[in-house]
Structure 1
């Protein structure tokens, strides 16, 4: 019996099924149809993302447009002002020490973000790199502090700063970050755990100190996580209103959120109802955060993408 006779009637030899020339590839019509489906799906995704982006960007565009409108047109919902004017910006600078508030906020934000990044990195490095008895329960205790609402510790913290004589200054707005943050400790610990131990063991054999292991090896390798921590805390500090309301009484020490609260009290519904002043001040104080985000966008995305890669 020959090989041809051994093949059952109606059977298709291997390599001849599903394609031309026995390659197994789908017919050209099927490939074109699959390509069209992928293209339609891609356009649907792009359209959905565009709509969502417009939804999120619209409030900012409205705010920017309203800052160039006179008072009578402030709420007309037109993105292009009919009678654009720069008078609102001049009024803001004349009505409030906005430059002073921006300077205060910049100093507080830089100190707060730097302090919490350094302190949290040191604590996270200790939990990630060193093996010691009780490490797990102690780390769980640190994370448990995240369950405490800020209102619970507000009064005791105020009493501490009052006893130290710092109420009325900007010190309470950033000095607490010298003692790390449980959230950032958890975030940075995940990055440190993902690092291989071989470079550290080799450096230790070469005589590197513990500080050099942290500063010269761990920190450069975890730069995206550190930048992410800095950006998160900078945004939180820049927009913080509660602590400035509690600790600041003098206008000369106001931060931007506390100053905007004062402007709303003066020009808002309880005052002169000059909403164009409030809107313009909001635009001016929002711009620095937008610039900061774009400056650190690469690290921000990279840090988010690799967070928690190893637990």
Structure 2
């Protein structure tokens, strides 16, 4: 048994060399498309004035979470500006948004296919297990070999690492839709597409949003690791702190990552729960106040009721 030597590594090298020899133009096209998305997002976020982005996030937090979290968001983002890490945080946010978008573009249809077919689920499940359990650093090697250094290989490695949750939870959410809802949709004459879009997905939305939330969190953690192959952003700050053994620089970069993670987590979590709009809540509050005033006037007009 000691002489047994399985050539797993040699097979992996041969597969990578085969792809590089025969599919380089395809890889270049994929890289160009991803670069267009990531660069456009980065240019927009870095180019917008910081007060505009802070105001937009504060309003979104006020609408979806509440005024306390909105105040926290403003204070936390002001802290990032005070540490002079705003451009790098915008670079990281652009990479996270791009990676999450690509993961959803592939992951949600795959989750739907798994929910509709046990055969697809049987094939996809071990692949997803491999994607989730493989150490994150391993993804950097083929990504750098296929696409070089920079934001593109970082985005691709992030997509592969972060996609499994949205696939699994989309599949789970659709499979857990009550059969009564599906039977009612069929009774009303829904086509398979109508049944999916109008019955299954709305009822599975909390599970799907939980998967998107987890994909965003994993994307953020992987984007920081991807700084080792030139992805940029806050990961560069953390990596610089490690290389120089500079505790202060590393702590500032880590704190900025934590702030971004908390904002993304709380806001995306809220979309999985039904919440009235801000103006709807104000109208409800004003309506209850008017009802209370009318009741007080009625009591004053009929003292015997008091």
- Alpha-carbon separation, structure 1, partners of 2:201 and 2:265: 21
| More relative contact order, 1 or 2 (CA 8 Å, 6+ apart) | 1
Deviation at 1:102, TM superposition (A): 0.9
Deviation at 1:195, TM superposition (A): 0.8
Is 2:145 aligned against 1:159? Answer: yes
Deviation at 1:200, TM superposition (A): 4.2
- Alpha-carbon separation, structure 1, partners of 2:183 and 2:79: 64
What does the per-residue CA deviation read over 1:138-161, in whole Å, with 9 as the maximum and x for residues that have no partner?
244434434544455543333222
Is 2:225 aligned against 1:257? Answer: no
TM-aligned CA distance change 1:256 to 1:111, over 3 Å: same
Is contact 1:113–1:234 with CA below 8 Å preserved after alignment?
yes
Is 2:109 aligned against 1:137? Answer: no
What does the per-residue CA deviation read over 1:149-177, in whole Å, with 9 as the maximum and x for residues that have no partner?
44555433332223xxxx32x22333463
TM-aligned CA distance change 1:237 to 1:193, over 3 Å: same
Deviation at 1:206, TM superposition (A): 5.8
Deviation at 1:220, TM superposition (A): 2.0
TM-aligned CA distance change 1:203 to 1:107, over 3 Å: same
TM-aligned CA distance change 1:238 to 1:228, over 3 Å: same
Deviation at 1:110, TM superposition (A): 1.3
- Alpha-carbon separation, structure 2, partners of 1:197 and 1:113: 31
SS of residue paired to 1:239: helix
Deviation at 1:189, TM superposition (A): 1.6
Is 2:273 aligned against 1:292? Answer: no
Tell me the residue number matched to 1:229: 211
1:114 to 98, 101, 110: 101
2:254 to 282, 289, 292: 282
- Alpha-carbon separation, structure 1, partners of 2:191 and 2:90: 39
- Alpha-carbon separation, structure 2, partners of 1:238 and 1:152: 17
Deviation at 1:108, TM superposition (A): 1.1
Deviation at 1:218, TM superposition (A): 2.6
What does the per-residue CA deviation read over 1:53-92, in whole Å, with 9 as the maximum and x for residues that have no partner?
xxxxxxxxxxxxxxxxxxxxxxxxxxxxxxxxx99975x4
- Alpha-carbon separation, structure 2, partners of 1:137 and 1:297: 29
Q: Provide the TM-score with structure 2 as the length reference.
A: 0.51
Unaligned runs of 5+ in 1: 1-85, 270-274, 303-311
1:244 to 227, 246, 261: 227
Aligned residues: 194
Tell me the residue number matched to 1:101: 88
Q: Provide the TM-score with structure 1 as the length reference.
A: 0.50
Is contact 1:244–1:255 with CA below 8 Å preserved after alignment?
yes
- Alpha-carbon separation, structure 2, partners of 1:171 and 1:206: 47
TM-aligned CA distance change 1:179 to 1:234, over 3 Å: closer
What does the per-residue CA deviation read over 1:281-311, in whole Å, with 9 as the maximum and x for residues that have no partner?
4333422222233334456799xxxxxxxxx
- Alpha-carbon separation, structure 2, partners of 1:105 and 1:117: 18
What does the per-residue CA deviation read over 1:19-56, in whole Å, with 9 as the maximum and x for residues that have no partner?
xxxxxxxxxxxxxxxxxxxxxxxxxxxxxxxxxxxxxx
Q: Radius of gyration: which is bigger? A: 1
Q: Over aligned residue pairs, what C-alpha RMSD do you find?
A: 3.8
2:154 to 173, 184, 187: 173
Is contact 2:96–2:219 with CA below 8 Å preserved after alignment?
yes
